[in-house]
Chain A
Amino acid sequence: MKTEKVVLSFIAALLGLLVAASAFYFFQITKKTPAPQTKIVSNITPTPSLVPSIYLDLKQPKDEEVVDDKTITVSGKTGGNAVIVILINGIENVTTPSLSGNFSTPLTLANGQNIIEVISVAKDGESKSILRTVTYSGEDF
């Protein structure tokens, strides 16, 4: 009698355990975990406003950049009918953008700090300029 009781209670407990475990298992399987909240970082590039007839977006070079090559590329985008004047330490280089407004010009730097001013002049006389400081240095520090 005593043995029967023990066996029965053991079987009952085991059955209960199995039911609980199965219930938990199904709960975990069907549970929907919320998607991780990833922060979407978008690089907002300044889009030109439609109000002024001229805009200028300079892709290269970056401001305060230090380079170990004397030749750099100045590139960007402006209005298709504009004239681009690039002044390196006051010495001008004139170029014209493509029909889509893209321009890219290789230029030679002087030793040390170079002030690069890119001016876009539109046909109607409007203009816009961007200033960059680029340093040419072969020093290792």
Chain B
Amino acid sequence: MQKIIFISIFNIFLFCLIQNTVVHNVYSQTITPDIKEQLITNIASRVAQLKLVEKRGIIGIVSNVTNTQITIIDMQNNTRFVDVDEFTKFTSPASKGVYGISDIAKDGTLGILGLYNKESRRILARFVTVVSIPKVVRGGVASIDDKNFTLDVSTIDGKRLAIDIDYTTTTYSHTLQGGYVRSGFSKIKENYSIIASGSLDPKNENKILADRVLIFPEIPFIPKAKSQK
């Protein structure tokens, strides 16, 4: 009886040994270079994902400020959360003295440079600067006021804006034959396509004080429905 038990145990042990060897051989044969490459790619991709923080610079309009956080609406109309700490530097070209987070006002425009965390989607600000964004208008010339040197422009989003042309405004035109050449107020005609940049008139929010104007004499008035942003 003892011998039968001994033989059975020996058989089981031998069977396990053989099975282990065979399985090992079979699986080691299935790891092809393709799978190996795929594994390396997957590992590399995971490592890349772990690089969570990167430098980023954004511009936005302040919607809320606290001692440790600034909430802004960025250029793509997204709400962004910016964290500030003791290493964050604040600057404003208009400020002569020390400028800090307490000087930041709602609706002000800020440029933020800092470390963006891809997981939390927050920026840890290192440099916060007050910036001014030029107003860019594109559309078609609806009417011209020769006396006041003002253009009435229909914008692509269906608004009407007045463009004030000053003696400091630089005007250029672009044609297929002539290319990009210097132009002037007198060359501007109704129905020309126009791109103007400048700043909003503080007294009239529907008026742009133009710094630069670019006209396209060969391109007709931009239809409202067709142009896309």
Contact = CB atoms under 8 A, between A and B. Distances in A.
Contacts of A13: 7-8, 10-11
B219 A112 contact: no
Contacts of A135: 56-57, 111, 113
A125 B76 contact: no
B35 A115 contact: no
Contact of A90 (B22, B55, B211, B219): B211
B75 A121 contact: no
Nearest to B56: A64
Contact of A94 (B18, B116, B214, B229): B214
Nearest to A113: B111
Contacts of A25: 22
Contacts of A125: 140, 193, 219-223, 226-227
A29 B26 contact: yes
Interface in B161-180: 172, 174, 180
Interface string A1-39: 000001001100110110011001100110101001010
A129 interface: yes
A134 B56 CA distance: 9
Nearest to A20: B15
A124 B220 contact: yes
B61 interface: no
B23 to A, nearest CB: 7
Contact of A83 (B8, B140, B197, B216): B216
Contact of B57 (A17, A64, A90, A92): A64
Interface residues of B, number: 61
B129 A112 contact: yes
A12 to B, nearest CB: 9
A106 interface: no
B148 interface: no
A24 B23 CA distance: 9
Contact of A92 (B111, B212, B228): B212
Interface of A: 6, 9-10, 13-14, 16-17, 20-21, 24-25, 28-29, 31, 33, 36, 38, 52-54, 63-66, 83, 85, 87, 89-92, 94, 112-113, 115, 117, 119, 121-129, 131, 133-135, 137, 139, 141
Given A91-B212, A133-B74, 11 more contacts: A6-B3, A16-B11, A24-B22, A28-B22, A66-B56, A66-B113, A90-B198, A92-B214, A94-B174, A119-B138, A125-B193
- A-B complex: 10 closest residue pairs judged by Cβ atoms: A135-B57, A90-B134, A90-B197, A113-B111, A66-B55, A28-B26, A94-B180, A21-B18, A64-B56, A125-B222
25 contacts: A9-B3, A13-B11, A21-B22, A64-B57, A66-B56, A87-B195, A90-B134, A91-B212, A92-B214, A94-B180, A112-B129, A113-B57, A113-B58, A115-B59, A115-B133, A115-B134, A121-B193, A125-B221, A126-B223, A126-B226, A127-B156, A127-B227, A131-B76, A133-B57, A141-B114
